[in-house]
Structure 1
Amino acid sequence: MIESLFHSAQGGHEQVVLCQDPRSGLKAVIAIHSTALGPALGGTRFHAYPGEAAPEEAALRDALNLARGMSYKNALAGLAHGGGKAVIIGDPERLKTEELLLAYGRFVAGLGGRYVTACDVGTYVADMDVVARACPWTTGRSPENGGAGDSSVLTAFGVFQGMRAAAAHRWGTPDLAGRTVGVAGVGKVGRLLVGRLTEAGARVLVTDVREEAVRRVLADHPGVTALGSTRELISAPGLDIYAPCALGGALNDATVPLLTASVVCGGANNQLDHPGVEKDLADRGILYAPDYVVNSGGVIQVADELHGFDFARAKAKAAGIYDTALEIFRHAESSGVPPAVAADRIAEQRMARAAEGAGTAAAGAPAGASADG
């Protein structure tokens, strides 16, 4: 596994930190993929990795993949941030304590600002308030503590904008009225996305492994239809758009052949289970909206927090996801490549230009001076 940090397609990371605090029970991985565009920015996942024989190795893989994805996400979101991600290993329902979160905050603080953290699966605004007591490089805090609050609000808004762009490219109009959209995972982001879709006049199908999450959505939106499983949802007749909004790997060798939707656009990270899935989707005529493009509203929100949060300003920037997604779809079509490949190329070009600029600035600095002056 260590070799993958340097040699695999998921490698190339600048720094990986393994964190352990026996007193609090903290075991965590912090992965910094790139700081070419600025300090790495990405959330903190708290997850148990059930069923994994080696949860620490699974967490490391997850952190590496997620950190790399954040580099690409931040680049295409137009942020002055590189990509990073942290994973706290364990069941948050059992292990999450104030002492553990403070210990984690001290590890992040020890990186001196190279990594800025925020919420992710298993962590919430209240948790970031605790982490912030030990680490100034913490976003996703509550408004009462100088933060932007729940980043799911603009994450869902951005996915909705990406979905409108996909509809415009596929059907010639961004109007989602009358379209059937299947949302798999109705937690923080999926639930808010369902609200936007019902307001837009879409017919919405939902599923979630947690019955209480489905009950909450049905109570808020009585017109929504609940299905028993993701398999049932993705193979539903008449499905126009599939929105994976739970954990990664939703698009794989087992699920892609079953898809009845002609568009995939959702909030989950790392939806493509392995390289080649993007081609499988394209071969079936399914338009895939790259996950890290359309779900970047949340990172846009927390990045704005670093400059004194202004919701209207952050929402206006997140609205640009519509134009970015359209640009990627058009570039993919003109280049004859899947949208995921087109998005990667654009992000890589932006990071490469930033790295070249930093190198030029450093080379031109007077002897004994830093590139910053």
Structure 2
Amino acid sequence: MAAWDLPDFDDHEGVHLFRDRASGLTAVIAIHSTTLGPAAGGVRYWHYSQRADAVTDALRLSRGMSYKNAMAGLPMGGGKGVILADADGAKTPEMLHAFGRAIDTLGGRYVTAEDVGINEADMIAIAGQTRFVSGLPVGAGAAGGDPGPVTAHGVYLGVCAAARAALGRADMRGVHVAIQGGGSVGGGLARKLAADGARLTLADVNADRARALADELGAQVVTADAIIGVEADIFSPNALGAVLNIHSIPLLRAGVVAGGANNQLATPADAARLHARGILYAPDYVINAGGIINVALEYLGHGDRAEVDARVALIPDRLRTIWAESAASDRPAADVADAMAQRLIGRG
């Protein structure tokens, strides 16, 4: 099946497949839109049981980046890279160098940064082959560097806004949050909420990581399969996507979904399922925009960390605007956000 026949193909400007035999690189770069600027979005390093799933992931993630960058007010389009990992997860400098060369062939239409499975050291390796890279180490007070902590802060602000909107809570003390994922974003969110006195239940596919985080914060732990059914005030997905679907949504026992994972909805119909249940939903590409704000300002050379923080602080206002229109029109929040983003990139 050709890429343009896949369900998630959305008039993408380009879908590029790369193979470098010498290094073992197999990669996809999807460019959804460059209407507002170069297509910005991180590169994911992940093992897929079916290679076609990597293309689908790149299509979905790049579209999300178009919407995320537009809603965050950034002069960037949307793109995403995916490097296919072997089952053993082995990643080599040669592979990263080859990916950098692949990016360079696109002449600046795609700008990469960190995503799942990629870190600052990997960005340095990629940057040795192309200048179209962000998320590199920076000095104190500068925009840029690891986007994870900034993403976590934006998600934290969004979770607090959701608690106020749905629960009438002025602070997070005693609010029960079920957090799925204990990595950079989920772990950072958990630490901020614990400092506020929130009650936490944690889960991660890496059970040892979940237990260590719970021991640190005095939280409860459940299995990765059980977290979505935990009775809580807020369910916060911070792992991989498609966690909200026809099977999982009926299991939710929280009145709010607000988390940092990309592509949380498996299908567009799942937005309506959440809305029908009266669950307040924070559209993922709005609440998790902190990281791309950080690395985009680094790449563009616009402002410093104070500017990043000021822009991230606007995330709750954007969410409140979406929720207000959702309530007034009786439309799912995800649909409202999509319509806003599509207008911004000239597709509305």
Structure-2-length-normalised TM-score: 0.95
**Contact residue 279 and residue 338 of structure 1 kept, 8 A:** yes
1:218 deviates by 2.6
**Pair 1:8–1:94, CA change in 2 (3 A):** closer
In structure 2, distance between residues paired with 1:27 and 1:127: 16
**1:236 maps onto 2:225 in alignment:** no
Aligned equivalent of 1:370: none
Q: Which residue of 2 aligns with 1:363?
A: none
Q: Structure 1 residue 69 and structure 2 residue 68: aligned?
A: no
Output the CA distance in 1 between the equivalents of 2:162 and 2:143.
Answer: 32
One of 126, 145, 156 as aligned partner of 1:160: 156
Please show how residues 1-373 of structure 1 align to structure 2 within 5 Å.
1-2=1-2, 4-5=3-4, 8=7, 10-49=9-48, 52=49, 55-91=50-86, 94-143=89-138, 148-221=144-217, 223-231=218-226, 233-237=227-231, 239-308=232-301, 310-352=304-346
For residues 200-229 of structure 1, what are the alpha-carbon distances to aligned partners after superposition, in whole Å with 9 as ceiling and x for unaligned? 2110100011023213313431x1111123
Relative to structure 2, which stretch is displaced further, 35-44 or 174-183?
A: 174-183
Q: Cα RMSD over matched residues?
A: 1.9
| 1:174 Cα offset (Å) | 4.4
Cα distance in structure 2, aligned partners of 1:210 and 1:268: 16
- CA, structure 1 residues 111+320, in 2 after alignment: closer, same or farther (shift >3 Å)? same
Q: Does the 8 Å contact 2:255/2:278 carry over to 1?
A: yes
> 1:92 and 1:99 mapped to 2: Cα distance?
18
In the alignment, the residues of structure 2 paired with residue 8 and residue 57 of structure 1 have an alpha-carbon distance, to the nearest angstrom, of: 12
Contact 1:92/1:122 (CA < 8 Å) preserved in 2?
A: no
Deviation of 1:286 after TM superposition, in Å, equals: 0.7
Q: Which amino acid aligns with 2:190?
A: V
Give, in whole Å, the separation in 2 of the partners of 1:253 and 1:31.
Answer: 27
Is the Cα contact below 8 Å between 1:46 and 1:92 reproduced in 2? no
Deviation by residue 1:15-39 (Cα, 9 ceiling, x = unmatched): 1110010000000000000001110
Cα distance in structure 2, aligned partners of 1:274 and 1:142 = 36
**Which blocks of at least 5 consecutive residues in structure 1 are unaligned?**
356-373
Deviation of the 1:7 alpha carbon? 7.5
Give the CA deviation at 1:258: 0.8
Contact 2:143–2:305 (Cα < 8 Å) also in 1: no
Identity %: 45
Aligned to 1:369: none
Structure 1 residues 203 and 270: alpha-carbon distance in aligned structure 2, compared to 1, 3 A threshold: same
Q: Does the CA-based 8 Å contact 1:141-1:147 persist in structure 2?
A: no
In the TM superposition, residue 164 of structure 1 has moved relative to its aligned partner by 1.7
Where 1:273 maps in the other structure, the secondary structure is coil
**In the TM superposition, what whole-angstrom CA distance separates every residue of 1:129-179 from its partner, at most 9, and x where no partner exists?**
110111101011122699722101110111111112212221234422211
Report the structure number with the largest CA radius of gyration.
Answer: 1
Residue type at the aligned position of 2:253: T
Q: CA deviation at 1:346?
A: 0.7
Q: Aligned-pair distance for 1:5?
A: 2.1
Where structure 2 has 5 or more consecutive residues not aligned to the other structure, the ranges are none
SS at match of 2:106: coil
Deviation at 1:10, TM superposition (A): 3.4
Q: The residue matched to 1:122 in structure 2 has which SS? A: coil
